[in-house]
A and B are shown apart, each in its own frame.
Chain A
């Protein structure tokens, strides 16, 4: 029996073509990064906090008004990213510390002994402290380490970076913070 022939009108062609929008959406998915979640805090006032400092006086964010703040969240168990950016942070701190910016490190969900070892290893001279109960982390919407917040002199969050910092990015953001009076 010879197979009867079929036909296709433009109306019927809609059926297969209906799958194209879906394919387009999935293709769009390649450009998104499911791990990168934009923060709602950018361009808003930085949440206030008070934190104890390892070997230092407690620091409150309010007391730093007028200075630019680089707030870095890290942990000793964060391989390899925190270990990659630590020397960069310390060296940049030493370069910029007289220019009206302060680097502040928040050590999250960590043991003090391990944290001190981390700080000793990278010769950290800027203030670092623990975050018991993860209050500060939650206030800043931190969902991984490392994350760094760039806070301007008026106390607003200018930029949030997720992941290890690179020299160019760190310097560029610092320059932005320090340019405004």
Chain B
């Protein structure tokens, strides 16, 4: 019943969405407001229908309705309820439904927010967003129906891949998808601007918050994925330059470039073509990424490919690329702004350089990702492109970007005078050099780490000085106390200070990456009960082996005692999870996380009688700084996008309380 109803709902949604797209285009002409109004209703109906489909699938999952093939593939009777719910996006069909739901949500939100504004742009914005939904609905209608039935009805489901039965699965895909789908909104507005031939900066102002929030979700998703990999997968790392990881990183890179270069366009009306190219690239890379995941042309941990899906995604990607770039070419002459720069030494130049580096890193990652395919096509041999390559090329570029992050926010727009440069950069530069020299004498000798710290100190110094000096100046001129002045400053120039906080977060994360990569140490040993393994200041003692039944698996773990400088710091219980359907066990890592360093332990092997256990112990210095940095980035974004009305209220209330 659910199956038939669900399939019907999706087909209905497909029809409604096609109508919505067509009606939007018809409603673009002046005088056709009735068509436009009808299209808006259709968009809302579209959203309701897809929501209904989600409810139906979740209902089937929670009630373990195994007559649906999808439910049988992604859950078992014994699964915990929250993993049954997460089964919605655990496999291909459901993930497409989730994506489409988010896409429909975007369409509805855009309509709700702008329904009586932007008369010229909106019809085409709607048409583009609905058009994207049409593709995803077509996918589900003709290729990957989440409501497909299975005969005979199995007594129990196969269940989610055990790697996915963790709380992270409840969060990570939602974060990523929100980011991906969120980028479709600035893309739609960009295309609408191209179609209507309005060479204005209008669409940038409208979509600024959408872009930044989508970027935030994507950033969260990427950081969270790394955190998940580190805490759960048991190899001690957080990023493997896997093709699908790269696929999430590439739109992030062009999205970041876009956020920056948009600021130039808003001030100087330049770079119009470039920004349209960037937003198209960002969305195309999102589609490319999801194509990679679902086509199976590149092996990956994340891939879950099937049949005609790959071909359909490639077709859609081709349409997006040809149509968007065709439009850009068509409108190129009209878009050319009058490019004017006051000086090469200016913030505009810094942003241009920022774009070159970010797009350069994106190009590198892209090249590395498809090169195995290219090499096979040309030479016929299969090769691998992995971590050594990406680190080697992206590393120095990341350093350059780090330096720019310190320079960019403080260098003046227009022309940076020598005075301006001295005032803003002299002290931070001196401090950075001093700090780096201090580090050298404290024992840090690796060039990469020293360079990273040099630039990082520089950025931290510039940001700190900016905050401190501005706060002091404001406090002096308004008579507020320092803390008040600080918050008032944040609220007044949210974009600027939010941006500074984001930069700070990125710097913190980069420090974490640099130090943890270069200074991590590991040691492996087979221990009998009572024996210890020493690593750095730490000692790990193997006490005993234990086993227990869990709802979906058997867990075997080692009871270890961790000691630092001889003093006990706590128990560690790394283990292995044995699932009935899986041949090899899954690691269950344990660690003592600390902002200075992590003590990370894996159970590699054991004797069933508990007579010995092989453990691998790692020290990952400053790796938590990566996650902390991610948190600071989110904080910065929230500061930057807080809406104005609420803030005016807050500051009024604060002033009233003072009085």
Contact = CB atoms under 8 A, between A and B. Distances in A.
Direct contact of A and B (CB under 8 A): yes
Given A26-B314, A37-B382, A7 B333 contact: yes
B583 A23 contact: no
Given A26-B291, A30-B310, A19 B325 contact: yes
A172 interface: no
Contacts of A7: 330, 333
B296 interface: yes
A174 B629 CA distance: 61
Contacts of A28: 373, 377
B297 A15 contact: no
Nearest to A5: B197
A29 B297 contact: yes
16 contacts: A3-B196, A6-B331, A6-B333, A8-B330, A16-B326, A23-B317, A23-B321, A26-B297, A26-B370, A28-B377, A29-B298, A34-B296, A34-B297, A34-B298, A38-B381, A79-B583
A18 to B, nearest CB: 8
A14 to B, nearest CB: 8
A12 interface: yes
A16 B321 CA distance: 7
Interface in B371-395: 373-374, 376-377, 381-382
Contacts of A18: 325
Contact of A23 (B314, B329, B332): B314
Interface string B318-332: 100111111011111
A12 B273 CA distance: 13
Interface of B: 196-198, 291, 295-299, 310-311, 314, 317-318, 321-326, 328-334, 370, 373-374, 376-377, 381-382, 583-584
B295 A25 contact: no
Contacts of A30: 295, 297, 310-311
A27 interface: yes
Contact of A6 (B197, B291, B317, B584): B197
B333 A32 contact: no
Nearest to A3: B197
A27 B374 CA distance: 11
Contacts of B373: 25-26, 28-29, 32
A25 B196 contact: no
A16 B322 contact: yes
A96 interface: no
A80 to B, nearest CB: 11
B311 A13 contact: no
A18 B326 CA distance: 10
Contacts of B295: 26, 29-30
A23 B320 CA distance: 12
A169 interface: no
Interface string A56-99: 00000000000000000000011100000000000000000000
B325 A4 contact: no
Nearest to A2: B197
Nearest to B198: A3
Contacts of B323: 16
B329 A12 contact: yes
A32 B297 contact: yes
Contacts of B370: 25-26
B308 to A, nearest CB: 10
A16 B314 contact: no
A153 B326 CA distance: 62
A38 B382 CA distance: 8
B197 A12 contact: no
Given A25-B373, A32-B376, A19 B321 contact: yes
Given A3-B197, A19-B322, A26-B317, 18 more contacts: A3-B196, A3-B198, A4-B197, A8-B330, A12-B329, A12-B332, A14-B329, A15-B328, A15-B329, A15-B332, A16-B325, A17-B322, A18-B325, A19-B321, A26-B297, A30-B310, A32-B376, A34-B298
Nearest to B318: A23
A35 interface: yes
Contacts of B583: 77-79
B617 to A, nearest CB: 24
A37 B380 CA distance: 11
B77 to A, nearest CB: 22
B420 to A, nearest CB: 39
Contacts of B377: 25, 28
A133 to B, nearest CB: 14
A26 B196 CA distance: 32
Contacts of A32: 297, 373, 376
B314 A27 contact: yes
Top 5 nearest A-B pairs (CB, nearest first) are A29-B297, A3-B197, A16-B325, A34-B299, A12-B329
A16 B329 contact: yes
Which residue, A3, A5, A28, A78, has most C-beta atoms of chain B within 10 A? A3
